[in-house]
Protein backbone atom coordinates (compact mmCIF):
# COMPACT_ATOMS: atom_id res chain seq x y z
CA UNK A 1 0.00 0.00 0.00
CA UNK A 2 1.17 3.48 -0.88
CA UNK A 3 1.92 5.72 2.07
CA UNK A 4 0.35 9.12 1.45
CA UNK A 5 2.19 12.34 2.21
CA UNK A 6 0.70 14.93 4.57
CA UNK A 7 -0.89 17.07 1.81
CA UNK A 8 -2.24 13.94 0.09
CA UNK A 9 -3.76 12.75 3.36
CA UNK A 10 -5.41 16.12 3.89
CA UNK A 11 -6.93 16.04 0.42
CA UNK A 12 -8.17 12.48 0.86
CA UNK A 13 -9.79 13.39 4.17
CA UNK A 14 -11.41 16.44 2.60
CA UNK A 15 -12.71 14.39 -0.33
CA UNK A 16 -14.00 11.37 1.57
CA UNK A 17 -15.39 12.72 4.81
CA UNK A 18 -18.47 14.86 5.18
CA UNK A 19 -19.63 16.24 8.50
CA UNK A 20 -23.27 15.23 8.69
CA UNK A 21 -25.70 15.79 11.55
CA UNK A 22 -29.26 14.64 12.19
CA UNK A 23 -31.99 17.03 11.08
CA UNK A 24 -35.71 17.03 11.84
CA UNK A 25 -36.57 16.05 8.26
CA UNK A 26 -34.28 13.01 8.14
CA UNK A 27 -35.95 9.60 7.90
CA UNK A 28 -36.65 7.70 10.20
CA UNK A 29 -36.34 10.52 12.77
CA UNK A 30 -38.85 12.64 10.88
CA UNK A 31 -41.58 10.14 11.83
CA UNK A 32 -40.92 10.35 15.57
CA UNK A 33 -42.99 12.61 17.84
CA UNK A 34 -39.87 14.45 19.02
CA UNK A 35 -38.42 15.07 15.54
CA UNK A 36 -39.02 18.81 15.85
CA UNK A 37 -36.51 18.93 18.71
CA UNK A 38 -33.75 18.14 16.20
CA UNK A 39 -32.21 21.10 14.34
CA UNK A 40 -33.77 21.94 10.99
CA UNK A 41 -30.34 22.67 9.49
CA UNK A 42 -27.00 20.93 9.23
CA UNK A 43 -24.35 21.77 11.83
CA UNK A 44 -22.04 22.97 9.04
CA UNK A 45 -24.58 25.45 7.71
CA UNK A 46 -25.34 26.85 11.19
CA UNK A 47 -21.75 27.16 12.46
CA UNK A 48 -18.79 28.62 10.67
CA UNK A 49 -17.02 29.58 8.63
CA UNK A 50 -14.57 30.33 11.42
CA UNK A 51 -11.02 31.66 11.20
CA UNK A 52 -8.70 30.26 13.82
CA UNK A 53 -9.86 27.36 16.03
CA UNK A 54 -8.53 25.45 19.00
CA UNK A 55 -9.26 21.82 19.79
CA UNK A 56 -8.40 21.06 23.41
CA UNK A 57 -7.84 17.38 24.17
CA UNK A 58 -8.48 16.39 27.76
CA UNK A 59 -5.01 14.93 28.25
CA UNK A 60 -3.24 15.05 31.61
CA UNK A 61 -0.27 16.68 29.88
CA UNK A 62 -2.25 19.94 29.70
CA UNK A 63 -1.57 20.31 33.40
CA UNK A 64 1.03 23.04 34.04
CA UNK A 65 1.07 23.83 30.32
CA UNK A 66 0.20 27.50 30.80
CA UNK A 67 -1.61 27.34 27.42
CA UNK A 68 -4.81 29.00 28.61
CA UNK A 69 -4.21 32.44 27.08
CA UNK A 70 -3.13 30.99 23.76
CA UNK A 71 -6.16 28.68 23.63
CA UNK A 72 -8.57 31.52 24.40
CA UNK A 73 -7.03 33.70 21.68
CA UNK A 74 -8.67 31.55 18.99
CA UNK A 75 -12.03 32.50 17.47
CA UNK A 76 -13.57 29.22 18.53
CA UNK A 77 -12.60 26.59 21.11
CA UNK A 78 -13.76 22.97 21.14
CA UNK A 79 -13.71 20.87 24.32
CA UNK A 80 -14.75 17.31 25.09
CA UNK A 81 -17.07 15.42 27.36
CA UNK A 82 -16.93 16.49 31.00
CA UNK A 83 -13.71 18.53 30.69
CA UNK A 84 -14.06 21.66 32.87
CA UNK A 85 -12.43 25.07 32.52
CA UNK A 86 -13.25 26.39 35.98
CA UNK A 87 -10.15 26.10 38.16
CA UNK A 88 -7.97 25.18 35.16
CA UNK A 89 -8.08 28.47 33.22
CA UNK A 90 -4.32 28.99 33.30
CA UNK A 91 -3.72 25.73 31.46
CA UNK A 92 -6.79 25.25 29.25
CA UNK A 93 -8.43 28.69 28.99
CA UNK A 94 -12.04 29.54 29.68
CA UNK A 95 -13.72 29.92 26.28
CA UNK A 96 -15.98 27.08 25.14
CA UNK A 97 -17.55 27.51 21.72
CA UNK A 98 -18.37 23.88 21.15
CA UNK A 99 -18.43 20.79 23.32
CA UNK A 100 -18.37 17.36 21.72
CA UNK A 101 -19.77 14.70 24.02
CA UNK A 102 -20.15 10.95 23.73
CA UNK A 103 -23.41 9.25 24.65
CA UNK A 104 -21.88 7.73 27.78
CA UNK A 105 -21.46 11.20 29.22
CA UNK A 106 -25.08 12.02 28.39
CA UNK A 107 -26.42 8.87 30.01
CA UNK A 108 -24.24 7.91 32.99
CA UNK A 109 -25.38 9.40 36.28
CA UNK A 110 -21.86 10.42 37.36
CA UNK A 111 -21.55 13.10 34.64
CA UNK A 112 -24.74 14.91 35.73
CA UNK A 113 -25.54 15.81 32.17
CA UNK A 114 -29.00 17.15 32.91
CA UNK A 115 -28.09 19.11 36.04
CA UNK A 116 -24.51 20.38 35.70
CA UNK A 117 -23.86 23.87 34.31
CA UNK A 118 -20.72 22.47 32.65
CA UNK A 119 -22.67 21.66 29.51
CA UNK A 120 -24.69 24.85 29.18
CA UNK A 121 -22.17 27.10 27.44
CA UNK A 122 -21.63 27.02 23.71
CA UNK A 123 -22.92 24.59 21.14
CA UNK A 124 -23.36 20.93 22.08
CA UNK A 125 -22.56 18.16 19.63
CA UNK A 126 -23.19 14.54 20.60
CA UNK A 127 -22.34 11.16 19.12
CA UNK A 128 -22.98 7.51 19.90
CA UNK A 129 -21.02 4.47 18.68
CA UNK A 130 -23.44 3.28 16.00
CA UNK A 131 -23.33 -0.02 14.09
CA UNK A 132 -20.81 -0.02 11.24
CA UNK A 133 -23.62 -0.19 8.69
CA UNK A 134 -24.67 3.32 9.76
CA UNK A 135 -28.25 2.10 9.27
CA UNK A 136 -30.30 4.67 11.13
CA UNK A 137 -33.25 2.42 12.04
CA UNK A 138 -30.93 -0.25 13.38
CA UNK A 139 -29.08 2.36 15.40
CA UNK A 140 -32.25 4.01 16.70
CA UNK A 141 -33.37 0.66 18.12
CA UNK A 142 -30.01 -0.24 19.58
CA UNK A 143 -27.90 2.77 20.58
CA UNK A 144 -24.87 2.15 22.77
CA UNK A 145 -26.30 4.50 25.43
CA UNK A 146 -29.78 6.11 25.52
CA UNK A 147 -28.64 9.15 23.56
CA UNK A 148 -32.09 10.02 22.20
CA UNK A 149 -34.00 9.87 25.50
CA UNK A 150 -31.34 12.08 27.09
CA UNK A 151 -31.35 14.43 24.10
CA UNK A 152 -35.09 15.01 24.45
CA UNK A 153 -34.80 15.64 28.20
CA UNK A 154 -31.91 18.08 27.73
CA UNK A 155 -33.68 19.95 24.93
CA UNK A 156 -36.71 20.46 27.12
CA UNK A 157 -34.51 21.96 29.86
CA UNK A 158 -32.41 24.09 27.46
CA UNK A 159 -34.52 24.73 24.37
CA UNK A 160 -32.41 27.73 23.27
CA UNK A 161 -29.01 26.04 23.29
CA UNK A 162 -27.91 24.72 19.89
CA UNK A 163 -27.50 20.94 20.16
CA UNK A 164 -26.56 18.67 17.25
CA UNK A 165 -26.22 14.91 16.96
CA UNK A 166 -23.64 13.54 14.53
CA UNK A 167 -24.77 11.18 11.81
CA UNK A 168 -23.09 7.77 12.26
CA UNK A 169 -21.96 7.91 8.64
CA UNK A 170 -19.55 10.67 9.64
CA UNK A 171 -17.92 8.64 12.44
CA UNK A 172 -17.43 5.62 10.15
CA UNK A 173 -16.16 7.73 7.25
CA UNK A 174 -13.49 9.07 9.60
CA UNK A 175 -12.76 5.52 10.81
CA UNK A 176 -12.40 4.40 7.20
CA UNK A 177 -9.79 7.07 6.57
CA UNK A 178 -7.79 5.92 9.57
CA UNK A 179 -7.99 2.31 8.35
CA UNK A 180 -7.16 3.07 4.73
CA UNK A 181 -3.96 4.76 5.75
CA UNK A 182 -2.63 2.08 8.09
CA UNK A 183 -0.82 -1.08 7.06
CA UNK A 184 -2.55 -3.26 9.66
CA UNK A 185 -6.20 -3.85 10.56
CA UNK A 186 -7.47 -1.54 13.25
CA UNK A 187 -10.24 -2.27 15.77
CA UNK A 188 -13.74 -1.66 14.42
CA UNK A 189 -14.66 0.94 17.02
CA UNK A 190 -15.37 4.57 16.17
CA UNK A 191 -12.57 7.14 16.42
CA UNK A 192 -12.15 9.03 19.69
CA UNK A 193 -14.08 12.21 20.34
CA UNK A 194 -10.79 14.06 20.01
CA UNK A 195 -10.23 12.98 16.43
CA UNK A 196 -13.89 13.31 15.41
CA UNK A 197 -13.82 16.85 16.79
CA UNK A 198 -10.59 17.67 14.97
CA UNK A 199 -12.06 16.62 11.62
CA UNK A 200 -15.28 18.47 12.42
CA UNK A 201 -13.33 21.68 13.13
CA UNK A 202 -11.29 21.24 9.92
CA UNK A 203 -14.61 21.47 8.10
CA UNK A 204 -15.56 24.72 9.85
CA UNK A 205 -12.30 26.61 10.37
CA UNK A 206 -9.56 28.13 8.26
CA UNK A 207 -6.90 26.77 10.58
CA UNK A 208 -7.12 24.33 13.50
CA UNK A 209 -4.70 24.10 16.42
CA UNK A 210 -4.97 20.88 18.37
CA UNK A 211 -3.56 20.88 21.90
CA UNK A 212 -2.00 17.84 23.60
CA UNK A 213 -3.49 15.31 21.23
CA UNK A 214 0.10 14.55 20.28
CA UNK A 215 1.74 14.61 23.70
CA UNK A 216 4.37 17.23 24.49
CA UNK A 217 7.35 17.00 26.81
CA UNK A 218 4.77 17.02 29.62
CA UNK A 219 3.54 13.58 28.53
CA UNK A 220 2.17 11.72 31.53
CA UNK A 221 0.09 8.70 32.43
CA UNK A 222 -2.34 11.07 34.14
CA UNK A 223 -5.45 10.41 32.09
CA UNK A 224 -7.20 13.82 32.23
CA UNK A 225 -5.94 17.24 33.33
CA UNK A 226 -8.95 17.49 35.63
CA UNK A 227 -8.83 14.12 37.42
CA UNK A 228 -6.44 12.10 39.56
CA UNK A 229 -6.65 8.94 37.53
CA UNK A 230 -3.65 7.28 35.90
CA UNK A 231 -3.85 5.04 32.83
CA UNK A 232 -1.56 5.11 29.81
CA UNK A 233 -4.44 3.75 27.69
CA UNK A 234 -6.02 7.22 27.81
CA UNK A 235 -3.18 8.53 25.66
CA UNK A 236 -2.47 5.40 23.64
CA UNK A 237 -5.97 4.01 23.22
CA UNK A 238 -7.77 0.76 23.98
CA UNK A 239 -11.34 0.96 22.69
CA UNK A 240 -10.64 3.76 20.23
CA UNK A 241 -7.97 3.42 17.50
CA UNK A 242 -6.26 6.35 19.18
CA UNK A 243 -2.65 5.51 18.33
CA UNK A 244 -3.56 5.32 14.63
CA UNK A 245 -5.48 8.59 14.80
CA UNK A 246 -2.41 10.21 16.30
CA UNK A 247 -0.20 8.77 13.60
CA UNK A 248 -2.42 10.40 10.95
CA UNK A 249 -2.48 13.74 12.75
CA UNK A 250 1.32 13.64 13.03
CA UNK A 251 1.58 13.11 9.27
CA UNK A 252 -0.88 15.94 8.52
CA UNK A 253 0.70 18.43 10.91
CA UNK A 254 1.83 21.63 9.20
CA UNK A 255 3.41 23.11 12.28
CA UNK A 256 6.96 22.52 13.51
CA UNK A 257 7.84 19.33 15.43
CA UNK A 258 9.25 21.62 18.09
CA UNK A 259 5.72 23.02 18.71
CA UNK A 260 4.54 19.53 19.55
CA UNK A 261 7.36 19.07 22.02
CA UNK A 262 7.02 22.43 23.75
CA UNK A 263 3.31 23.23 23.41
CA UNK A 264 1.70 19.92 22.49
CA UNK A 265 0.47 21.92 19.51
CA UNK A 266 -0.39 20.65 16.06
CA UNK A 267 -1.45 22.96 13.20
CA UNK A 268 -3.88 21.66 10.60
CA UNK A 269 -5.38 23.57 7.67
CA UNK A 270 -9.12 23.80 7.30
CA UNK A 271 -10.53 21.93 4.31
CA UNK A 272 -11.47 25.19 2.64
CA UNK A 273 -7.91 26.44 2.91
CA UNK A 274 -6.32 23.59 0.94
CA UNK A 275 -6.08 23.24 -2.82
CA UNK A 276 -6.43 19.66 -3.96
Residues lying near ligand NCC in the complex (CB under 6 A): 57-60, 80-82, 102, 104-105, 192-195, 213, 223-224, 234-235, 239-240
Closer to ligand NCC by Cβ: residue 41 or 189: 189
3-class DSSP string for 52-102: EEEEECCEHHHCCCCCHHHHHCCCEEEEECCCCCCCCHHHHCCCCCEEEEE
Closer to ligand NCC by Cβ: residue 23 or 249: 249
Closer to ligand NCC by Cβ: residue 102 or 216: 102
Quick check: 8 and 181 in contact, CB under 8 A?
Answer: no
Closer to ligand NCC by Cβ: residue 58 or 65: 58
Closer to ligand NCC by Cβ: residue 92 or 204: 92
Q: Min. distance of Cβ 112 from ligand NCC in angstroms? A: 12
Q: In whole angstroms, what is the distance from residue 163 CA to residue 122 CA?
A: 9
Q: Min. distance of Cβ 155 from ligand NCC in angstroms? A: 21
Exposure b/e, 153-173, CB count within 10 A at least 16 = b:
ebbeeeeeeebbbbbbbbbbb
Q: Min. distance of Cβ 207 from ligand NCC in angstroms? A: 19
Q: Which residue is nearest to ligand NCC (CB)?
A: 194
Q: Which residues face 99 on adjacent strands?
A: 79, 124
Q: Min. distance of Cβ 188 from ligand NCC in angstroms? A: 16
Helix (H) or strand (E) segment spanning residue 149: helix 147-157
Q: In whole angstroms, what is the distance from residue 110 CA to residue 103 CA?
A: 13
Q: Min. distance of Cβ 10 from ligand NCC in angstroms? A: 19
Closer to ligand NCC by Cβ: residue 58 or 150: 58
CB-based contacts of 263: which residues, under 8 Å, 6+ apart?
Answer: 65, 67, 70, 211, 216
Exposure b/e, 102-138, CB count within 10 A at least 16 = b:
bbbbbbeeebebeeeebbebbbbbbbbbbeeebebee
Q: In whole angstroms, what is the distance from residue 54 CA to residue 16 CA?
A: 23
Closer to ligand NCC by Cβ: residue 127 or 139: 127
Amino acid sequence: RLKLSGPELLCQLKRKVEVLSLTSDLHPFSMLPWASQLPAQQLTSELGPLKSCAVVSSAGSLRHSGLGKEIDSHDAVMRFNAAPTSGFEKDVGSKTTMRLINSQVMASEEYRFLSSSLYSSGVLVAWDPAPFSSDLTQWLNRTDYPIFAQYQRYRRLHPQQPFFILHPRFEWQVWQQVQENMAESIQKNPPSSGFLGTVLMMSLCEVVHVYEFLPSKRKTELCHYYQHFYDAACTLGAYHPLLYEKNLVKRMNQGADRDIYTHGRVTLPGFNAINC
